[in-house]
Amino acid sequence: MNDEIKNNDIIEYIISEESKGLRVDQGIAKENKQFSRSLIQKWIKNGNIKINDNNIKSKDILAINDRVTIIPEKSMNSEYLEPQDIKIDIVYKDNDLIIINKKINIICHPAAGHSKGTIANGLIYLFPELKNLPRSGLIHRLDKDTSGLLIVARTIECYTELIRSMQNRSISRHYIAFCHGLVMKNGRVEQPISRHHVDRKKMAVNINGKEAVTDYEVIKNYEKNTKLRLKLHTGRTHQIRVHMQYLGFPLIGDQTYGLNIKYNNNISQKIKLFSRQALHAESLSFSHPITNKKVNINSKLPNDLICLEKELESG
């Protein structure tokens, strides 16, 4: 190993269900977006990354509960995320975890064309220890234009336990959404989801996709729209948006899954031109992985959704 490596830089964690079945280099790069895939491949080749204490090859396949150990090279700090002073609304904090209330128009992790200005950049500015955790400690994600609550682990022990809780579906996540059409009764969608076969930026219901389960409850019907509370049992990309489109009730403002909506002449311009999917991560409930105490956090609707609701109520 490189003699510049420091022990307190070691990253250890358990592979989640989301990454099982992927190539080692692909899965580890997906879980650790502060490092490029080419750097991950180099570290695998040099023995800086081990699975269950064994050397591996980039083409090997990950299994759920595999234990990953990454020993980054100190000389490669340029590959780390850049800390940035980004305003983050912290609604809960202790020594083990943080819960933030995400605003719209910001992505969670760096991606192609977005190496800066993300939630992850802001988190490692506020909490430098997070640079040594997968995904900067983020346990799950919200789309760029979805608002609401996100859980962030501060230690590898907490990260591992929260990931396990997510896999066991013992973290309760509820969302508020406003959709097109009148949903008349509560229900459940159990339809697998995978990448769209043509547009790779989209997801779609696919019999060969990964299991996806969403419960929905009608809160209120308006003239031509519905307010829903939804519960996620799985965490597929765009899951609520895809499932609601599948049911024929796409979310108001969804620029990806709601573009085929035909508006009548009476619909308000404010509804027609609402600029983001009307979706908000309203509540989180789970047992604290270290203290075992119950954590219940709620987030009020942001102003744009409050205004949208008033517009719907006015008819």
Q: CATH number of the domain that 116 lies in?
A: 3.30.2350.10
Q: Which of 115, 150, 166 is the last residue of a domain?
A: 166
Q: Which of 19, 48, 73 is the last residue of a domain?
A: 73
Per-residue pLDDT at 9: 63
pLDDT classification of 1: cutoffs 50, 70, 90: very low
Per-residue pLDDT at 263: 64
- Specify whether 130 is located in the same domain as 38: no
| Span 102-121, average pLDDT | 85
* From 3, 9, 89, 143, active-site residue: 143
- Statement: residue 8 has pLDDT above 70: no
- Specify whether 115 is located in the same domain as 190: no
| Span 47-54, average pLDDT | 89
- Specify whether 304 is located in the same domain as 176: yes
Per-residue pLDDT at 5: 35
Query: What average pLDDT does the chain have?
Result: 88
- Specify whether 177 is located in the same domain as 305: yes
State how many domains the chain has: 3
Per-residue pLDDT at 141: 92
Q: Which residue has the higher pLDDT, 163 or 17?
A: 163
Catalytic residue at 143?
Answer: yes
109 falls within a domain = yes
Per-residue pLDDT at 73: 65
Q: Which of 112, 131, 166 is the last residue of a domain?
A: 166
78 falls within a domain = no
82 falls within a domain = no
| Span 203-227, average pLDDT | 95
176 falls within a domain = yes
- Statement: residue 210 has pLDDT above 80: yes
- Statement: residue 295 has pLDDT above 90: yes
Q: Which of 4-13, 107-116, 124-133, 304-313 has the lowest mean pLDDT?
A: 4-13
Which structural domain, as residue segments, surrounds residue 271? Answer: 172-314
Q: Which of 26-40, 254-268, 292-306 has the lowest mean pLDDT?
A: 254-268
- Specify whether 124 is located in the same domain as 63: no
- Specify whether 180 is located in the same domain as 243: yes
- Per-residue pLDDT tens over the stretch 124-164: 999 998 988 888 899 999 999 999 999 999 998 899 899 88
84 falls within a domain = no
Question: What pTM was estimated for this model as a whole?
Answer: 0.79
Per-residue pLDDT at 60: 93
- Specify whether 136 is located in the same domain as 235: no
- Specify whether 185 is located in the same domain as 295: yes
268 falls within a domain = yes
| Span 55-76, average pLDDT | 81
AA letter at 286: F
pLDDT classification of 190: cutoffs 50, 70, 90: very high
53 falls within a domain = yes
- Specify whether 179 is located in the same domain as 276: yes
218 falls within a domain = yes
Q: Which residue has the higher pLDDT, 261 or 282?
A: 282
| Span 257-278, average pLDDT | 79
- Specify whether 95 is located in the same domain as 176: no
- Specify whether 218 is located in the same domain as 285: yes
User: Highest-confidence range of 25-29, 165-169, 216-220, 233-237, by mean pLDDT?
Assistant: 216-220
